[in-house]
Amino acid sequence: MFEIPDDKKYLESHEWTTTDGDTVRVGISDFAQDELGDVVFVELPAEGDELAAGDEFGVVESIKAVSDLYAPISGTVVAVNEDLFDAPELVNDDPYGDGWMLELEPSNTDEFDDLLSPEEYREQTE
C-alpha cells in the first residue's frame, strides 16, 4: 500500500501540496515515486517564478521515464529544494518529507477546494 497522508491534498497528476500556513509545499506522491522507479534528476523553477494552477513547473526523471510536474495552485515560488540536485533519490526515500520540491506563496487559496482529498486520491490509485 502507498502512503497518502491525510494532511495533504493531491492532483490527478500525482503532486501533493500542504494547505496550512502562509506558504505551501509541493512534491510528488509515494505512488508516483514508486511508479517512476529510481529518480535520477529533478528540474525545478527559479525562486520568484510565478506559476498558475496547472502550469508545468519542472520535470522529474527516473532511469526509465521522464515526467512533467504540475503546479497544484497558483502562486510565487519562494523556495526550491536544492538538495534534490545532488540527491534526487530523496524523492524515492522520503516523498512527503526531504523529497519535497518547492514552496509557493499562494495567490488564491480558494484553489485548494479544486484539489483531490486524500480519499479521492486513494480511489484514483487503486
Q: Which residues bind another protein (CB under 8 A)?
A: 37-38, 40-41, 43, 59, 61-64, 66, 85
Q: Which is nearer to another protein, 48 or 64 (CB)?
A: 64
DSSP secondary structure string, 32-75?
HHHHH-SEEEEE---TT-EE-TT-EEEEEEESS-EEEEE-SS-E
Nearer to another protein, 49 or 61 (CB): 61
* Minimum CB distance to another protein, residue 32 (Å): 14
**Least distance between another protein and beta carbon 41 (Å):** 5
Phi, psi dihedral angles at 42 (to 5 degrees): -130, 130
Least distance in angstroms from the C-beta of 43 to another protein: 8
Least Å from the CB of residue 40 to another protein:
4
Residue 126 makes CB contacts below 8 A (sequence gap 6+) with none
* Rounded distance between C-alpha atoms, residue 76 and residue 8, angstroms: 19
**CB nearer another protein, residue 7 or residue 85:** 85
Angle at 77 between CA 74 and CA 78, to 5 degrees: 130
Which residue, 39 or 116, has its beta carbon nearer to another protein?
39
Residue among 115, 88, 112, 116 nearest 101 (CA) = 88
